[in-house]
Amino acid sequence: MDKAESIFDEMLLGDDNARSPYGEYHDWFVAEDPTRLHHKSREAETFFRRTGITFNVYGQEEAAERLIPFDIVPRIISGREWARLSRGIEQRVRAINAFLYDIYHRQEILRAGRVPAELIAQNDAFLPKMIGVAPPANIYTHIVGTDIVRTGEDQFYVLEDNARTPSGVSYMLENRESMLQMFPELFSRIRVQPVSDYPKNLRRSLAACAPPACSGKPVIAVLTPGIHNSAYFEHAFLADQMGAELVEGHDLRVIDGRIAMRTTRGYTPIDVIYRRIDDDFLDPLNFNPQSLLGVPGIMDVYRSGGITIANAPGTGIADDKAIYSYMPDIVEFYTGESAILKNVPTWRCSDEDSLAYVLEHLHELVVKEVHGSGGYGMLVGPAASKREIAAFRDKLKAKPGNYIAQPTLSLSTVPILTKKGLAPRHVDLRPFVLVSPLGINITPGGLTRVALKKGSLVVNSSQGGGTKDTWVLEE
């Protein structure tokens, strides 16, 4: 079987008939006028531009503000498939939260030898200042984005965990809103689970994690680095949708042991901060003294129970790709069960034998920085030139502990609409999870990211990818 034949198309069977979840949609699509569909595609672009749904691209000669490409062919998941995914995601998120509590307290998993102690102690994402600190309700990961890829009918893998500051939920919501406006007839014909209650659920979830100092209805704010941040649209969007305040560091100060925000009537205490800035910039008195984005003294207020920070400081260690390689052990250690969702097989380049294997097989592997994100700092071996591989080999030899490597998976495809009709493109999925004392809430679907270039496996918007609406069927 050649590579093309081994790729799983989620929509179409080999004979151009549709797979079961796509049956109704495919019948509708075939009967549609292609000219109308292309017009709708341009209409979606106009809608996104008018709404201001853009992101900033860094690392270029000029920082560019771009429209995130949107494809009007939805990604459809059956109710049965989603039920299994949900169980696996919930199990994983519970294990991550338990792991974070443990490593900042008794460190039982290290004592048991299931995770190497040096992997924690020498990790920049581990915050010693969080040792012994118990967040309100012992919840570290209030909002999680779990990246999932598919390789077959029932083959799903977790690609990475985003427990620090996961982004993209605004695109999920706006993608659905666009589809509802453009194709209302589809939603009366196909029973799709809604996603529009995410902002309400987010507010409810955050309010349930209010700190001991809170009295009355919790006051919630979204802390943003400001308008020049790549995800500023999302920060403003979520604050507006939740009915929360949108604040920057200079709007806040410590008053009487609380974090208070500046208003036209003076300073008002805040109970919960949904922060969209990294740990290092959170508090110049406790972390990076050069930071102008955070709030001096916020960590002292946090430790004393005067504020809830979502996600908790120090959660970034759960995003670490070297920690990721131990997730099957972590899930089993804290839940007593085998992981429902598999990890992608991973070589830790800090290991001498693994490094030797990776160096020998660079041309066929994907190599990632352990702290990397957004598709930056990685090598996709099969798509790289000999010069790129040689340069990466030098970086790998210099700092092997900074990297992990994984096989190049045959990611599933979903068709996109092109000028010539439907064409398959690789996709991943980021479901969004809310964690609170009320339980774990998983929005049905999430953000499907799609590689718009033929054959490309890189779906990140910063690397030229786009998005799709994700439909989970009611069954």
pLDDT digits (tens, 9 = 90+) for 232-248: 989 999 999 999 999 99
Contact call for residues 466 and 452 (beta carbons, < 8 A): yes
Q: Where residue 462 falls among pLDDT bands split at 50, 70, 90?
A: low
Task: Tell me 463's DSSP state.
Answer: G
Quick check: 426 and 64 in contact, CB under 8 A? no
Rounded to whole angstroms, the Cα distance separating 398 from 71 reads: 41
pLDDT in tens, 379-430: 888 888 999 999 999 999 999 988 999 998 889 999 999 998 999 999 999 9
Asked if pLDDT for residue 31 goes beyond 70, the answer is yes
Smallest Cα–Cα separation from 452: which of 424, 429, 475, 421? 424
Classify domain 345-408 by CATH architecture: 2-Layer Sandwich (3.30)
- Residues 14-37 as b or e (16 or more Cβ within 10 Å = b): eeeebbebbebbbeebeeeeeeeb
Residue 2 and residue 19: Cα distance in Å, rounded? Answer: 22
Give Rg (Cα) of the chain: 23
Residue labelled with tokens 């009611």: 474
Q: Closest Cα to residue 313, out of 299, 324, 327?
A: 299
* Average pLDDT of span 39-63: 69
Looking at residue 56, what is its pLDDT? 53
Contact yes or no for 7/413 (Cβ under 8 A): yes
Secondary structure element (H or E) that encloses residue 103, with its range: helix 79-103
pLDDT tens figures, 161-203? 999 989 999 999 999 999 999 999 999 999 999 999 999 999 9
Amino acid 60: pLDDT: 46
pLDDT at 393: 93
pTM of the model: 0.92
Predicted pLDDT at 53: 67
Are 142 and 436 within 8 A, CB to CB? yes
